[in-house]
Amino acid sequence: MNSLIALDLAGGQRFVDELSRAWDNGDAILPIDQRLAIQAKRALMTQMRASRVIDETGSTVLEGGQETASDDALVVATSGTTGQAKGVVLTHAAVLASALASSRALEVDVNDHWLACLPLCHVGGLSVVTRALLTGTALTVIPAFDAQEVTRAAHDCNLVSLVPTTLQRIDPRLFRSILLGGSRPPNPRPANTIATYGLTETGSGVVYDGVPLVGVEISFTTDDEILLRSPMNMRSYRNGETCIDSAGWLHTGDIGRLLPNGNLSVEGRRDEMITSGGEKVWPEAVEDSLRTLLIEQDFAIVGLDDQEWGQKVVLVSTAIDLDIAEVRAHVNQTLPMYCAPKDIYHLPSIPRTAVGKVQRHIIAEALLN
């Protein structure tokens, strides 16, 4: 019987050893977010039907476990930006294909050394570990991102995966190459960073700086949803559902287009698009336009239901002294005026996932309550 083993462990050698042991035994692993409360951890294990949990105290059998398919390697909970997390099932073949294609794109050799410093419960952090294990590349894993620890680790490590928030806290020149995912990269960005596009469902990034990795195909639906077909794609969700059609195309839920040079440009999540007065507004595009104005603030753009406009574009910021006229004029320098926020709201913090994605549904709910 192939089991799903929940690894309730911080990042480190113990995590790596238990993952390797589970794979050797034919089991798949479910990494558990170390920031979750005990009840939330148990709820996730129950939802994903794990058979056993390994934590700092040892190994415990769980009730209601369900076996996995023989080739299943990982079950990774989605980041849940818009609702309840799903368990993405990635096979050994998919994980290996991702490791080989990524290493080829980065020209990884025996002299390279990976640093894993992002949460291992998310595919962006976990894929660093699996990539290193499957290619025999040197690996250092630290429990969580800490700028000082990352700086110290850079004496040995030259490859790392980061998100924009963590990139800002280190000297990027410490590394040969930095994979940058999670949310839209800064503009401009360091020359040694590679902007990645992918989902948990694709086992990490499958498009590097707009160019698909070897074996990855890109297509679009009639309404510009990005479709991906590759050996890295998930088998299914843990509950048996899938977003892969009969032709093997994974429907991403993201809207995008090909630039004149053939590179992929991602506009944003289809369910986050704001329709205001009949015009389509992408929140991330408005956020990009405001970065040079709101340098010291954390902020986000969301859409709120509005009787006149259908939806209205609003700015939510940690700052309390912003001028709406200045904000609108600044946006209008690069975008049409219909993209400019009509109101400004204050929140003490901007809800984000562990990899930096804005949780717009939580912000909208907070503004309505």
Higher pLDDT, 184 or 50: 50
The C-alpha atoms of residue 67 and residue 60 are separated, in whole angstroms, by: 16
The model's pTM is 0.84
pLDDT value of residue 254: 93
Lowest average pLDDT, out of 106-110, 250-254, 306-310, 336-340, goes to 306-310
Q: Are strands 159-162 and 250-258 parallel, antiparallel or unpaired?
A: unpaired
Q: Which fold has domain 273-368?
A: GMP Synthetase; Chain A, domain 3 (3.30.300)
pLDDT-above-90 percentage for the chain: 78
Tell me if residue 223 falls in helix, strand or coil.
coil
Residues of each domain in the chain carrying CATH 3.30.300.30: 273-368
Tell me if residue 189 falls in helix, strand or coil.
coil
With a cut of 70, say whether residue 90 has pLDDT above it.
Answer: yes
pLDDT value of residue 187: 80
Rg of the Cα atoms in the chain: 21
DSSP annotation of 348: S
Mean pLDDT, the chain, whole residue set: 93
The C-alpha atoms of residue 154 and residue 212 are separated, in whole angstroms, by: 28
pLDDT tens digits for 310-336?
A: 899 999 999 888 999 999 999 999 888
Q: Terminus-to-terminus CA distance in the chain, angstroms?
A: 48
Task: Give the residue-averaged pLDDT of 234-259.
Answer: 96
Task: Give the residue-averaged pLDDT of 157-181.
Answer: 95
With a cut of 80, say whether residue 83 has pLDDT above it.
Answer: no
pLDDT value of residue 315: 95
C-beta neighbour count of 237 within 10 angstroms: 17
With a cut of 60, say whether residue 72 has pLDDT above it.
Answer: yes
Place of tokens 């340098």: 295
Residues of each domain in the chain carrying CATH 3.40.50.12780: 93-268
Q: pLDDT band for 165, please (50, 70, 90 cuts).
A: confident
Task: Give the residue-averaged pLDDT of 118-145.
Answer: 96
The C-alpha atoms of residue 157 and residue 178 are separated, in whole angstroms, by: 11
Q: pLDDT band for 82, please (50, 70, 90 cuts).
A: very low
CATH of domain 93-268: 3.40.50.12780
pLDDT value of residue 79: 62
